[in-house]
Amino acid sequence: MKILLVEDDERAAEFLAKGLRELGHAIEHTADGEAGLAAAIAGGFDAIVLDRMLPKLDGLEVVRRLRAGGSGVPVLILSALDEVDERIQGLRAGGDDYLTKPYHLEELTARLEALARRHGEAAPAARLVVADLELDTRTRRVSRAGRKIELTAREFQLLEFLIRHARQVVTRTMILEGVWDYHFDPKTNVIDVHISRLRQAIDKGFDRPLLHTVRGAGYTLTEEP
């Protein structure tokens, strides 16, 4: 999932973003309510993790404005305020769930997954197919011609990005932004390494390669030669 994290506590944000990225999610972080609202309005997120008490614009006001603007993206509110009235306010403002601090990463992740399931009709397709290659975002299962393929979390995320852009040429910049959430070139061979590993995983042992390098442009996932 691509998740927007709106949290002004730098250490808490770093910890949560790191944990979610290790699970294969793409994270965009903003540190105040105004920036969070602007990012949310721009769209493209599968879920939002929103701190209750934020500078510049309170978390509840962020979600109120989102809902007033017609956005249906799932919102999980985080707060140190655990009184019943506070939770009720959060849900009535338009939040889909409310989790009090301190929290366990496993519980937060499970709640995000539940929100994604409940909003399944608006979510991207869970089962993605190119030729005989299949990827299921719910079960995180990848197979080709019925043969199960084991991938790391990052390899899975890279394959999901490529398969959602199947038969298109994706540039290195698109991959850095869509998979690593980098908006700059880190000047490393990280893409080459992961593309090589992914190619070994999905193409080795099969007659027809699916992952192709487009010289001078990028990469494409297609059944066409």
Per-residue pLDDT reduced to its tens digit, 127-168 = 889 999 999 887 789 999 999 999 998 999 999 999 989 999
Q: In angstroms, rounded to a whole number, what is the distance separating the alpha carbons of residues 114 and 119?
A: 9
**Per-residue pLDDT at 124:** 54
Mean pLDDT of 70-96: 87
The ranges of the chain annotated as CATH 3.40.50.2300 are 2-118
Backbone angles phi, psi at 27, to 5 degrees: -120, 130
Environment class of residue 92 by beta-carbon count within 10 Å: exposed (0-12), middle (13-18) or buried (19+)?
Answer: exposed
Joined together, the tokens standing for residue 117 give 């399931």
Place of tokens 């939770």: 87
* CATH architecture designation of domain 2-118: 3-Layer(aba) Sandwich (3.40)
* pLDDT tens readout for residues 24-75: 888 999 999 999 999 998 878 889 999 999 999 999 999 999 888 888 889 9
- Reported as a pLDDT band with limits 50, 70 and 90, residue 120 is low
Q: Where in the chain is the domain with CATH 1.10.10.10?
A: 127-221
CB neighbour class for 79 (10 Å; exposed up to 12, middle 13-18, buried from 19): buried
Q: Which CATH architecture has domain 127-221?
A: Orthogonal Bundle (1.10)
Q: Residue 123, exposed/middle/buried by CB under 10 A (0-12, 13-18, 19+)?
A: middle
Q: What is the pLDDT of residues 178-201, one digit of tens each?
A: 888 777 777 789 999 999 999 999
Count CB neighbours of 143 within 10 A.
Answer: 14
Confidence at residue 40, expressed as pLDDT on a 0 to 100 scale: 92
